[in-house]
Amino acid sequence: MDVLKTLIRPQISDSVFELSKAIMKKDLNQSFTLYHDLTLLKVDPLAIIPILGWQLRLMMQIFELKERGMNQHAMNQILNENPYAFDKAVEYTRFTTSSNVKQLMMMLSHLDANIKQGKQDKKIGFERFLLESVR
């Protein structure tokens, strides 16, 4: 089975969704396994950051709409997101809190800014983000 996993790599978008899930579940081993899979596919950390940011933003919006008492159907109509992405974001909100998502969004935005300003190496910075995100 391990040989098959090595030979058949998942799609990039699926890996990033699964990486989000691992972060929300605070699963360090899975987070680094998925990140490693993405690096084998030659995905740059700078490409992962905005996708994770988008997923975190979507989760934050879901938390806010839940607080207003909206059901999933109404939320999806308001947010007008891809149904698959929306369902994944709803699922991931079950593993975390809105304050944790806010904290992750801040960490990710600081990382992005520091990388773009040359203050942080993208690979080391992203790995540090993963370590800090699962605490």
Both tokens of residue 14? 């699926």
d(CA 108, CA 54): 11
d(CA 133, CA 53): 13
What domains are there in the chain, each with its CATH number? Answer: 2-133 (1.20.272.10)
Tell how far CA 130 is from the center of its chain.
10
C-alpha distances out from residue 109 to 4, 32, 75, 84, 106, Å: 36, 20, 25, 25, 5
What is the residue-level pLDDT of the chain in tens, covering all 135 positions? 554 444 444 555 568 889 999 999 999 999 999 999 899 888 999 999 999 999 999 999 999 999 999 999 999 999 999 999 999 999 999 999 999 999 999 999 999 999 999 999 999 999 999 999 988
Q: What is this structure's pTM? A: 0.85
